[in-house]
Structures are given as structure tokens and as C-alpha cells.
Amino acid sequence: MTDLATSLLPGLLRDVHATGVLSWADVHVAQKVAFLYAEPDQRVQLALALAVRALRAGSTCLQVSELGRDRFDLDEETVGVPAELWPQPGEWRAAIEASPLVTVGKPGGGDRPLRLVGDLLYLERYWLQESIVADQLTARRDRLPASVPLAALQAARDELLAGADRDQAAAAVVPVLSSVTVVAGGPGTGKTHTLARLLGVLHRVLPSAPLVALAAPTGKAAVRMQEALAGAVSDLPSDLAGALGTLQASTIHRLLGWLPESRNRFRHDAANPLPHDVVVVDEASMVNVTLMARLLEALRPQARLVLVGDPDQLAPVEAGAVLADIAAAPSPANAPLADALAALGLPASGPVVRLRHNYRSVPGIAALAEAVLASDVDGTLRLASGGTGGVAFAPTAALTDLRERVVRTGRELVTAAREGRVADALAALDEHRLLCAHRRGPYGVSLWSRQVEEWLVAAMDDFDPTPAWYAGRPVLVTQNAPDLGVYNGDTGVVVNVDGTLQACFARGDRVHTVSPFLLEGVQTIHAMTVHKAQGSQFDRVTVVLPTPDSPLLTQELLYTAITRARTQVTLIGSPESLALAVRQRAQRASGLRDRL
């Protein structure tokens, strides 16, 4: 395909595009907007193109003082820009400030496409969205709910929180006295258990039963949220179990009322707010700044918002890392909350409550995850290499154990699927998962999926993966199909059910089946990216670490991969790759946490 950017006139924009840093879309937007605003200075056009590119990398803005750095992380590689191409920093900033494309400072009508605030350069749209999130969160935190008698809180704690740990109990109480609450914790820390009791406490202490909405950023997450909460509320007193057991989770888009003619506007907004008293968002770490702005606008002023998720895992694919920014921001003073927690004998907390104890993974995996989050390189290498229970570390060349593992689980899966044992096939599917950072290349999903398939063909005389559908094919859904009850990210297995092939997907205590011939967006899943594995857990996980020059090798990716495992995590790679992943944080430019 011809690169349209070859039509660029000689100059700065063309030269930087030639390095691979800028896509044709980046430079096209810059040229088009510059033409509309009569801005011929290619230094400003370059800043605009870099701001567009930053969105693709997940940032809502650019740090102007960092514009001259000579290396950029792309999806699968790191590329450089020769130092001589960069404009002189002082002159570059002066050109940006003087440009008709740029509003300088916080005030202003927003009639220009760029805004420079301090050291941060935004596309105006994302400045406005970040401003909405910051202003809404600040206003809601300052608007404290009506006080609740301490006796009512104590009675609710005695009834509902006797089996909860102290952090979980605090998390269940905080939403009573805070308009915005974050329940933060990794897999296995009891977030859903806590959420059920949190909703029970609100039902017990508020003057009337609240109208509750459950939402998640994806259809897959919404289905899992509802299934998990249904199991958790069954342990509550019968009246609460009945009231909460009928709650239906939806995507945030569906909750807000998606409008087909608009990508980012919904039926519910500030002029037509949601009717709910409490809105709970699960997997909130996956919510980008645009969607969070729309959600906050649509809440009634007196509504409570509860965000549940893990701020330490990978950020959303789209721009912004809102949950991480909220969790990292200083906690505002809330004297009624502090007094109530102290009187109840619970740990002091602001609106962000962290659940620290992992009840699901073995201690070795939990300790490894803690070392990674602490940026403790020596501790991580010691735990990974020292025979810690549940943790193994091997060089890339040591593939014998991995081959034996995938062949064993693959044989179990295929045999169960052929014999129609649906539960056993699904159990084998989740017994082990091979995770990669990349989609392509020597450390990517495509290569490793082919490798696993070759191992299975060599080990099983009657295994033939060439038909489009066969009993034992593990599948990953890659596009939403709500009419079929499957969503992007769902994993399942094709099973011979009474002589007919059915794609089977675990749904808590039940199984959802659909004819595989109706599925369009699916792929065979012998390996998957760490991003796709978010929200899932497996008995055992093998993580293929790329070489140290990979831009995807970050602490967030390593932590997310490790915490997918319950009983065993095996890291395949070099000590240099592991050490770099512990040290290297994902870089997402944002001004949100400094505005909260």
C-alpha cells in the first residue's frame, strides 16, 4: 500500500514521519488543522502531530519539556529520532505559545484545537474531558452525604461484616459517608465479597432502599460482575439477598444509553441524569477519560459512585488512566468518615480503600506481585529464582517443561471435548494459560500459538487443527455479539455435545453454549496477550518475557501477568528482562492526579 505521506512537502514534518514515529494519520491531522487555522510553522504542526500520536499511546497530553527526547515506544518496537531533527526547545515552546492553534493557560473559550497548561500540551477535547473528570470528582468529594447514626453503622457492621477483614470492612463503610469511593485491590483480595457487603450496608443504614446500577467497561466484565456478585450476595441475610440478587449488570455504554449516531454522547447526561442513587463500576481500571467524563456528567448530584478495580494493572487501551490517577491523588479531608471509622475500630481511610490480603493466590505469587509493585528488583529476582513456592523462572531456551505442560492440558481438553464432558473441557481450558506481551514477533502470540499447535500435532496422532471447527478447539471471542450472549475477551472451547459441535463458555456456575458456526470474530487461543487476560484468572500461568528492548516490558504488564495465576506462575526470559520490567513504569502523560 502506498504511503500517502510521500506527498508531504520537504521539511520537518516529513523528516520526522520518515523515522516511523508519526503515522500518516498523525501528520494528516496536523496538516489539515494547520491549514484551517493558517499556521505554516512546521514546529507547531509537529507538536500537534505528536499530541495526536500521544493519544494512541494512551496519554491525554504531552509534556512540552520532554518533546526533544530521541526515542519513542511504538506497539512492537522502540524507534529513535535523530537529535538534529528536533527544534531548539526554547524556540519550539515559544512558537507553540504564539500559535493561533493554541490556547495558553486554563481560562479561555476553547475555540482552538490545542491548549498549553504549564508544561502540558493537550488536544482541546481531552483538556475539556479531563477538566470534567477533575471538576466532577472534586465537587462530589466536597459534597458529603447526610450523616448516618453511628448506632446504625455499628449494627450493620455486626450483622454483615463479621467475616470481613479490616480493610474489607472499612471499604464497606466508606461509601456511606463518601460520595465517591474507590475499592482497590488485586485478584483474590475479595473485591466482589466486599462489594456485596457494601451494598448490604447501604441498604441497612439509608432511610430507603437505594436504586443501584451495576456497570463495567466491557460486556465480558459486566457478565463476570453479575455472576460473581450473584454468588456473593447469596451469603447475605435473605431480605438483602433477594433485593441485591435481582440486580443486572450492564456495560457503561448501555447504562448511559448509547446513541447510534454519536460515539461519545449518550441519552443520559447532565440534562437527563441517571435515576440511580448508587452507581458501581467494576474493572474501573479499564475506563478511559472520555467514558469517565460522560459517566460523571450523567450522575445526579446526590448519587454515590463506587469504583472497583486494580489501579496497579495495565491501563485502558484508550487515553487516560483515571483509576490510577484517582488512587494516587491526595485524599481530601472527611471528618465524619474519619470519626465513624475510628468509632467502629476500623483502619483510617479516605475515599480510596485498598484491599491488601490475597486470599486466592498462593503466598509465593502474592509476595512476587508485592515485590514487583515495590520496584524491588533484587527481591523480585530472589523470589523468582530461589525456589519460592508457586513461582519459577527459566531462560527462554528452557522450553521442555512448557511443552510438557501445554501438551498435557491440551490432551485433557481435546479428550474431554470429544467425549462431551463440558465441565472438564472448560476446567482444562483454565488450568494453564500462556501469556505474551506482544501480538507478533518471536515473543508474540502468533508465533507461540503456532508452536503450541505444532507440539500438539506431534504428540497426538489423531489431532488435526486444520478444520474451521473441531472438538477441542479453544477459542477467544474478538468482537461483541450480545445477541449470541458472547463478548470480546470471552474464552471457551468447542465441545461435541450429543453429536453436535457447540462453543461452550463458562458463566459462573452455568455454561453458555452457542453454535460455533454463528460466531464470526473468534481466534484459536493457545496463547494470549496479557492485555486480553485482564479480568481473568487461571490455575497456572506461563509468561513469555520479551527482550529488554521491548517497549511493552513494564511493571504494570509484569504485575498483571503474575496476578492472573492462582497456584503457579512461570516466567520465561532473561534476568535483564525481568529486572527492567520491575524498574520500568508505563509512561502515560496526564494532569488529572495533580488536579484532584
Helices (H), 437-554: 445-459, 530-533
Taking each helix axis as running N to C, give the angle between helix 400-418 and helix 445-459, from 0 to 180 degrees, rounded to the nearest 10. Answer: 70
Spatial contact of 362 and 540, defined as CB atoms under 8 Å apart: no
What pLDDT score was predicted for residue 396?
A: 63
What pLDDT score was predicted for residue 2?
A: 41
What pLDDT score was predicted for residue 77?
A: 57
Q: How confident is the model at residue 553 (pLDDT cuts 50, 70, 90)?
A: confident
What pLDDT score was predicted for residue 69?
A: 63
Looking at the whole model, is its pTM more than 0.95?
no
What pLDDT score was predicted for residue 75?
A: 52
Residue 585: all three cell numbers together: 513504569
What pLDDT score was predicted for residue 72?
A: 60
Q: Is the pLDDT of residue 130 over 90?
A: yes
Q: Is the pLDDT of residue 70 over 70?
A: no
What pLDDT score was predicted for residue 397?
A: 58
Query: Average pLDDT in the 256-270 region?
Result: 81
Q: How confident is the model at residue 71 (pLDDT cuts 50, 70, 90)?
A: low
What span, in angstroms and rounded, lies between the C-alpha atoms of 160 and 164?
8
**Which phi and psi (to 5°) does residue 116 adopt?**
-110, 115
What pLDDT score was predicted for residue 495?
A: 94
Spatial contact of 102 and 37, defined as CB atoms under 8 Å apart: no
What span, in angstroms and rounded, lies between the C-alpha atoms of 466 and 456?
13
Q: Is the pLDDT of residue 387 over 80?
A: no
What pLDDT score was predicted for residue 494?
A: 94
Helix (H, G, I), strand (E, B) or coil at 506: strand
- What integer best gives the mean pLDDT of the chain? 88
Helices (H), 206-246: 219-233, 238-245
* Residue 78: how many other CB atoms lie within 10 Å: 12
Q: How many helices (H) and strands (E) does the chain have?
A: 22, 22
What span, in angstroms and rounded, lies between the C-alpha atoms of 84 and 388?
49
Q: What is the pLDDT of residues 180-197, one digit of tens each?
A: 999 999 888 999 999 999
Query: Average pLDDT in the 369-374 region?
Result: 93
Residue 5: all three cell numbers together: 505521506
The residue among 58, 66, 57, 61 whose CA lies nearest residue 22 is: 57
